[in-house]
Amino acid sequence: MCGIAGAFNYKNNLSVSLDFLKCMSDELMHRGPDDEGFYLKDNVGFAFRRLSIIDLHTGNQPIHNEDKTIWVVFNGEIYNFIELRKDLIKQGHSFYTKSDTEIIVHLYEEYGLEFPKHLNGMYAIALWDGNRENLHLLRDRVGIKPLYYAETNNGILFSSEIKALLKAGVSSSPDYRAINQFLSYGYMPSPLTGFEAIKKLNAGHLLTCSNKTYKEVEFWDLNLDTCNEELSDDELVDSLIETLQTVLLRQTRSDVPIGIFLSAGIDSALIASIAAKHCSLKLNAFTVGYKEDSYSELGLTRQVAKRLDLSLNEIVLSESEIFTEIEKIISFFDEPLMDYSMIPTYFVSKLARSSVKTVIGGEGGDELFGGYQTYYLYRIAEWYRKIPQVMRNGIRAIVNKLPESHSYLSTPYKLKRFTYGTEFPYDQAHYRWKVLFDAEEKKKLLSRDFVHNISDLEHFLAMGKYFEKAQKKGCSIEEQLMYVDFKTFLQDDPLQKTDKMSMANSLEVRVPLLDNAIIDFSRKVSLNKKIKGFQTKYLLRKALSRFQPDEIAFGKKRGFTPPVALWLKNGLKDFMLSSLSENSLSNVPFLNHNYVSKIIGEHLSGKAENSRLIWALIVLVSWYKNYVSK
């Protein structure tokens, strides 16, 4: 795992200096504290920060081909590099390292721009073809690893993180369209970043920059063909376990020890169970808990670890400990992200890094195997909408008066979200069940100039194009919802959160449920094996039930969600009031302090559960202060 950056001054052929590259590289030191490397030739230059995982002695980047006409830097891991290396040697290629990086230059020599189709891994790649004078930037199929770029007066700059681009002089002018999207989703949908001049390369995309211009194409997308294959539950479970066993053996190739993030959740418990029982892997496990019982699953996690004979390293978060680190945690996000599970992810990464450099994570199971309640909630909504409108209005009025509870996903909270979202078609309801601020709330929150052109559906556009594509392919509603989340939420929220918080601690996280083989397997599983009635992730639960009791295999979904709603009323109250004070908001010209105060007051009094809204505003104000107004 590493950090990469570079420049190609194709517009004016200005030479790239080492000092300029070091300036960018220094901003990425946390991503790669072990070593650094540079490549410079005339108007092109690469910088690299290394976290040594594979080929500790000769694997430093940049890496080149035999005649040094092709150079590459990349962040990530290529899991099938051993198999690819053997094939390439048979085809006459020579290697001077044992690293997975060197595979890339030879694949490019052999297959040209078709080479990404041969890769199985997580990666952000920059490749320079000196013969053609082309720069190629590409990001893995799912978006596990980040890659940002900016067009400048000289040409193009790229980096693993935005902060390196800003350090290189890219304008920090905010993108108000992106901020509008953030206030809806809680994240910036790719390719938006919050800065007018900076874009995220979309997952599965390849950008080619020549001496004239650049163009971006999609080299991979999820196969949306409907599965008609009917296998029994046991046959599918056998196949899933066998596939995941192969994936784990491939993804645990490393020259350093590997651990695992463990919870009582379906995904991590299943991965840990197969690793222990079918791969004979003795992984150090790392977990996080809370004093608040409705949020903490530490007791169940201990049961999982005990059944697998895993060494479990625990941290129980206290508000005082969080308070000392919270500003630092938020500052690592150079594009705003609302997801407050960033807090436990940071601390469990810090805990893991004290023992290992690499861990296994559980992201991806929800989007591929039907893990969210919204995937069946639309069916309940269809029944609910048969109730006359006047009665539904009365029900919603009653629900909105229910007293709030700050326990995890409380019944009043879920009822309020449900009765709000059911008034819309299924595709818009999927967005509105999760929305932070809708158009009406934004009119109260934001300045007149900001909201002047905001339409009620503008913030739905990021999801809308993927709904349209899935609808044209004849996908069921459930498959449409999963595809939309796979293409939007997955890369821009959980994967970004995990990358930022793990790399803040110089830790690599591998995600076996997003391996090519598991993605391909998921497309062969029929819908009724993913969601059975109102049971989410049915197939994964059936597989887990072979290793763990039903209390865990068929238990409620929790994840690492922290009790922020309670913390904001107690240990983080002063931090909240300071972050969103009138003085702080005076530096953010588009926010209305009176409405922000109203949101805070409702939360503190118990009138409303506004923790998501408050946290989103804290993150936004902090980002604006750290990266825009400086």
Q: Could you give the residue numbers annotated as active site?
A: 2
Q: Which residues pair with 206 in a beta bridge?
A: 138, 217
The answer to whether residues 137 and 207 touch, using CB atoms and an 8 Å cutoff, is yes
Residue tagged 């509870």 (tokens): 405
Distance of CA 501 to the CA centre of its chain: 11
- The helix (H) or strand (E) run that includes residue 122 is strand 121-129
Closest to 560 measured CA to CA, from 407, 351, 341, 359: 341
364: which 2 tokens?
A: 């991806």
The answer to whether residues 76 and 116 touch, using CB atoms and an 8 Å cutoff, is no
119: which 2 tokens?
A: 């890769």
∠ CA 447-453-454, nearest 5°, is 80
What span, in angstroms and rounded, lies between the C-alpha atoms of 360 and 511?
6
Burial of 359 (0-12, 13-18, 19+ CB in 10 A): buried
509: which 2 tokens?
A: 């996280």
| 3-state class (DSSP) for residue 314 | strand
Q: Which residues pair with 508 in a beta bridge?
A: 358
Alpha helices in 488-572 (DSSP H): 489-492, 494-503, 516-522, 527-530, 538-544, 550-553, 564-567
| 3-state class (DSSP) for residue 565 | helix
Helices (H) and strands (E) in the chain, counts: 30, 17
Distance of CA 599 to the CA centre of its chain: 28
